[in-house]
């Protein structure tokens, strides 16, 4: 007789509804692949009266997701509520302690508590699966944890937030300002009313923290990530980058070396024609560099009901098959303490935009400061003055540096800003040569 795997779903929003859609449409297919009947037996959400397009009358309803987690009639607790605290955290912990397998799409929960939850799951002998937590329908978790098990990963990076990628793509292709495109993204549902979590880089940071632990076998450390969002990117920056042969993308980057691990989220210039540069709109792309496989890139829809729900279904099938893996690739007890690389870690080129005061010696003064900090200039763009520049008696001055270290760049720009030759705060964007 075919066994039945009973699911309890906490959260019936976009992703939860998508899970119900897939199970309704592909019940026979999922059963054949899982070797078991997959059955939703209980659910929890904020509004019981809301029409979700599915008959939920035969399911046990819980207003409290923590009570759902304790239901003796479920085998797998699926947490799709979000948030790094309660009720998500309390419900997941209770489910694990009750001996239930857990599936979550909650990157915030994992970024803050992933190591502890992994240890608890292993102690209780249950699975903690989270394919849907990073990059929607892209199977990046299993790729790193299982597909690249024979490789040592030295670096991973990628576009992990569709909202930011949509905004930067529209700015570049249509010549529109950040504020204008953000309003459109909000109207289309790509950005929240308060978009800070996305455009500030925090969503990408949560995802990066999870991937870093998987890739390098270290404990999750969200606090170690240097985070910068896209709010300060101007249309002029995008045009300048294009003239110099680059596009601007918000990248999450993690690098491991003998000195430690570097994690950063920031707007980044990437060369035109590189695979990541061609990932536009709401799509995500993640590149993993393995010592034997080389560069591997996965691209696809990074959010949305059905792509993300598809990732949840893959975790359900694994559990039904009895295919359990340590949450972060190695037993939680073997996750190494996180060791941060020294502050100077990033070494590469930089884009710098300056608003120079239009007076003799300004360019020479900038060049002198850069030389004294051992920074050499690769290329320069000097545009004609705009009406605003003429009124302010300033001139735009754009440069690309040869490879240098972050500490040297910051020291140089601090000196330039205070020497009286610039009229505004210098803008600096990292370059990834890829």
User: How high is the pLDDT of residue 10?
Assistant: 98
The answer to whether the CB of 207 falls within 8 A of the CB of 252 is yes
Q: Which residue reads 């995802």 in tokens?
A: 207
Q: How confident is the model at residue 389 (pLDDT cuts 50, 70, 90)?
A: low
Exactly one of 89, 100, 170, 207 is catalytic; name it.
207
- Residues 100-119 have pLDDT tens digits of 999 999 999 999 999 999 99
| Mean pLDDT of all residues belonging to the chain | 93
User: How high is the pLDDT of residue 388?
Assistant: 56
DSSP state of 135: S
Q: How confident is the model at residue 257 (pLDDT cuts 50, 70, 90)?
A: very high
The token duo for 236 is: 């002029």
CA distance linking residue 89 with residue 111, whole number of Å: 12
Its sign, for the CA torsion 39, 44, 45, 51, is: positive
User: How high is the pLDDT of residue 15?
Assistant: 95
User: What does residue 266 show for φ and ψ, rounded to 5 degrees?
Assistant: -165, 155
CA distance linking residue 299 with residue 246, whole number of Å: 20
- Alpha carbon 108 to its chain's center: 11
CA distance linking residue 192 with residue 8, whole number of Å: 28
Total residues found in the chain within this entry: 434
- The residue ranking higher by pLDDT, 395 or 116, is 116
**Averaged over 206-222, what is the pLDDT?**
97
Residue 207 is a catalytic residue: yes
Residue 391 has pLDDT above 60, yes or no: no
The token duo for 324 is: 């359990």
User: How high is the pLDDT of residue 1?
Assistant: 44
CA distance linking residue 374 with residue 351, whole number of Å: 16
User: How high is the pLDDT of residue 232?
Assistant: 93
User: How high is the pLDDT of residue 345?
Assistant: 55
CA distance linking residue 256 with residue 22, whole number of Å: 38
Domains, in order of start, for the chain:
4-133 (3.40.50.720), 140-301 (3.30.360.10), 347-431 (3.30.70.260)
User: How high is the pLDDT of residue 191?
Assistant: 86
CA distance linking residue 171 with residue 232, whole number of Å: 13
User: How high is the pLDDT of residue 421?
Assistant: 85
CA distance linking residue 62 with residue 102, whole number of Å: 17
User: How high is the pLDDT of residue 219?
Assistant: 97
**Averaged over 4-23, what is the pLDDT?**
96
- Residues 263-302 have pLDDT tens digits of 999 999 999 999 899 999 999 999 999 999 999 999 999 8
Among the ranges given (32-46, 114-128, 380-394), the one the predictor scored with the smallest mean pLDDT: 380-394
124: Cβ–Cβ under 8 A, 6 or more apart, which residues? 96, 97, 99
The percent of residues above 90 in pLDDT, for the chain, comes to 85
**Averaged over 317-324, what is the pLDDT?**
95
Give 141-148 contacts, CB < 8 A, sequence gap 24+.
141/210, 141/214, 142/314, 143/288, 143/296, 143/298, 144/211, 144/214, 144/215, 144/288, 144/329, 145/214, 145/325, 145/328, 145/329, 146/325, 148/288, 148/290, 148/293, 148/296
DSSP states of 223-291: GG-EE--STT--HHHHHHHHHTTEEEEEEEEEEEETTEEEEEEEEEEEETTSTTTT--TTEEEEEEEET
User: How high is the pLDDT of residue 394?
Assistant: 84
CA distance linking residue 212 with residue 115, whole number of Å: 12
Q: How confident is the model at residue 386 (pLDDT cuts 50, 70, 90)?
A: low
User: How high is the pLDDT of residue 304?
Assistant: 87
User: How high is the pLDDT of residue 393?
Assistant: 73
């Amino acid at each position: 007789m075919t066994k039945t795997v009973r699911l309890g779903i906490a959260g019936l929003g976009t992703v939860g509804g998508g899970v119900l859609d897939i199970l309704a449409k592909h019940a026979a297919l999922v059963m054949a692949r899982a070797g078991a009947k997959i059955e939703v037996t209980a659910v929890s959400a904020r509004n019981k009266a809301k029409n979700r397009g599915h008959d939920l009358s035969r399911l046990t309803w819980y207003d409290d997701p923590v009570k759902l987690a304790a239901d003796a009639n479920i085998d797998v607790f699926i947490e799709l509520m979000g948030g790094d605290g309660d009720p998500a955290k309390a419900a997941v912990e209770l489910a694990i302690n009750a001996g239930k397998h857990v599936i979550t799409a909650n990157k915030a929960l994992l970024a803050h508590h992933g190591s502890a939850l992994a240890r608890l799951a292993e102690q209780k002998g249950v699975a903690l699966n989270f394919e849907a937590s990073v990059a929607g329908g892209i199977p990046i978790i299993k790729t790193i944890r299982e597909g690249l098990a024979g490789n040592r990963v030295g670096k991973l990076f990628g576009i992990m937030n569709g909202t930011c990628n949509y905004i930067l793509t529209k700015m570049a292709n249509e010549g529109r300002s950040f504020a204008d495109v953000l309003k459109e993204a909000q109207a289309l549902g790509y950005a929240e009313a308060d978009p800070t979590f996305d455009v500030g880089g925090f969503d990408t940071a949560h995802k990066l923290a999870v991937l870093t632990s998987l890739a390098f076998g270290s404990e999750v450390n969200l606090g170690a990530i240097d985070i910068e969002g896209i709010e300060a990117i101007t249309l002029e920056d995008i045009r300048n980058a294009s003239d110099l042969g680059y596009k601007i993308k918000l990248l999450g980057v993690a690098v491991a070396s003998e000195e430690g691990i570097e994690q950063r989220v920031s707007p980044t210039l990437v060369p035109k024609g590189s695979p990541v540069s061609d990932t536009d709109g709401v799509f995500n792309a993640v590149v993993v560099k393995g010592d034997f496989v080389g560069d591997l890139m996965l691209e696809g829809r990074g959010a949305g009901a059905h792509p993300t729900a598809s990732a949840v279904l893959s975790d359900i099938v694994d559990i039904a098959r009895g295919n359990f893996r340590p949450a972060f690739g190695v037993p939680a007890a073997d996750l190494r303490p996180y060791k941060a690389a020294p502050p100077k870690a990033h070494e590469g080129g930089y884009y710098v935009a300056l608003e120079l005061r239009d007076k003799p010696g300004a360019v020479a003064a900038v060049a002198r400061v850069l030389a004294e900090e051992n920074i050499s200039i690769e290329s320069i763009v000097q545009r004609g003055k705009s009406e605003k520049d003429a009124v302010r008696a300033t001139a735009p001055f754009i440069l690309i540096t040869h490879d240098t270290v972050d500490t040297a760049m910051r020291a140089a720009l601090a000196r330039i800003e205070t020497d009286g030759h610039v009229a505004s705060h210098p803008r600096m964007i990292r370059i990834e040569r890829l």
